[in-house]
Amino acid sequence: MTGQIGVGIVGAGPVVQAIHLPTLARLADLFAVRALMDVDEATAALVGGRVGASPYTRLEDLLADPAVDVVAICSPHKFHAQQVIAALRAGKRAVLCEKPLAMGRDEADLIAAAVAETGVPLIVGAMHTFDPAWLGVLPLIEQLRSNAHTIRSSIVLPFNARFEDWATEVVNQKPFALPDVVDDAFRARMMEFGVLGLAIHDIPIVRAFLPDADPLVTAAAFLEPFGYAITMRVGDVLVDVFGLLQPQWQPQWEFEAISADARLHIDFTPSFVHAGSAVATLTDTKGTQVFQDVPHNGYEGEWRAIAAAVNGDRALVPDPADLVQDLMLALDIADQAADLQITQEVK
């Protein structure tokens, strides 16, 4: 396609304002934001006005706009499936959906069927799967992927509002607050929210190292003020997933895969951070190799993958069956963790 690719964004919350609009501004040679839809009219008008995009309050109006070539679904989770399917069927060139893709297996299957029917490329915004350091190390870890015995995903961040406020002046921001009563039902809901909202970023990377077996969650704790510590076995592989939103700790986003003779450690950039790539360090019997220093991370990576797909290169477009499997794994972990969880306060 010649000229800029026209982007239509659905849902104009903090993630769009602090992540996608700055990213697309850096990629102005590839993209122009032409339309923006939010059910909140003032948000659509204010955020759309910042980037010269037509504001809409109805999805069908954004999808009918001929200036929109690709659609990004950035609304709250529960609307993703229905909006992704509508965008796939609207004759657009590609769709980017923020994580999670959907809230259940039925929805995910309907999305996979819509991709098969329309042939439109669909990418889920698990941004680290598009990080150049991860993509760089991937061809070298075939053996580690089949014989890793331990996998760790650890995400420690401040609450989103801190990074959002550093990135932009957010319109219609709703900071996270614990309710007055933190009961079992709330903790179980938060466990699901933690897995589907945060752990899910790394699920495709975790799954790349797992055998085709069901997860068995052996321990799960809800961490106050907001987090989870979950341990599971998948076949013979031990998997630890840890996530914590907490103001004091140093932000860190780490992934680790370990086998008898190799270790992969990745330091990813925290969410909301517009920076260079992750640092991936692979140590095996041949020595240590480090992948780093690419000037962009996965936020640009996913949009570059969309541009490539629009221009016929689908190398980074995932198989929809994998997107469904990623979601199934996350839902299974979330369900088991919600049943098992205990509470720990983290100081």
Ligand X SMILES: NC(=O)c1ccc[n+]([C@@H]2O[C@H](COP(=O)([O-])OP(=O)(O)OC[C@H]3O[C@@H](n4cnc5c(N)ncnc54)[C@H](O)[C@@H]3O)[C@@H](O)[C@H]2O)c1
Interface pick for ligand X out of 49, 76, 104, 175 (rule CB under 6 A): 76
The residue count of the chain comes to: 347
Nearer residue to ligand X within complex by CB, 15 or 244: 15
CB of 97 to ligand X, least distance (A): 8
Residue ranges of alpha helices (H) inside the chain are 14-15, 21-26, 41-51, 59-64, 80-88, 105-118, 132-137, 142-147, 160-167, 184-197, 203-207, 298-310, 320-340
Return d(Cα 257, Cα 204) in angstroms, integer.
Answer: 13
Are 88 and 114 in contact, with CB atoms under 8 Å apart? yes
| Binders of ligand X in range 160-179 (CB under 6 A) | 160, 172, 174
Number of neighbouring beta carbons within 10 Å of residue 107: 20
Nearer residue to ligand X within complex by CB, 170 or 264: 170
| Binders of ligand X in range 262-291 (CB under 6 A) | 271
Based on the shown chain and the rule CB under 6 A, indicate whether residue 40 belongs to the binding site for ligand X: yes
CB of 200 to ligand X, least distance (A): 8
Interface pick for ligand X out of 61, 79, 159, 308 (rule CB under 6 A): 79
Angle at 215 between CA 212 and CA 221, to 5 degrees: 155
The span of 36-44, 105-113, 213-221, 238-246 binding ligand X (CB under 6 A) equals: 36-44
Total chain residues near ligand X (CB under 6 A): 26
Interface pick for ligand X out of 34, 99, 187, 296 (rule CB under 6 A): 99
Q: Which of 150, 104, 55, 99 is nearest to 298 (CA)?
A: 99
Based on the shown chain and the rule CB under 6 A, indicate whether residue 43 belongs to the binding site for ligand X: yes
Based on the shown chain and the rule CB under 6 A, indicate whether residue 12 belongs to the binding site for ligand X: yes
Based on the shown chain and the rule CB under 6 A, indicate whether residue 305 belongs to the binding site for ligand X: no
Residues 6+ apart with CB under 8 A from 212: none
Return d(Cα 209, Cα 184) in angstroms, integer.
Answer: 33
CB-nearest residue to ligand X? 13
Based on the shown chain and the rule CB under 6 A, indicate whether residue 8 belongs to the binding site for ligand X: no
| Binders of ligand X in range 103-162 (CB under 6 A) | 125, 127, 160
CB of 299 to ligand X, least distance (A): 7
Question: What is the per-residue burial (b if ≥16 Cβ within 10 Å, else e) of 145-154?
Answer: eeebeebbbb
Omega within 30 of 0 (cis) for the link into 215: no
What residue ranges bind ligand X (CB under 6 A)? 10-15, 19, 37-40, 43, 74-77, 79, 98-99, 125, 127, 160, 172, 174, 197, 271
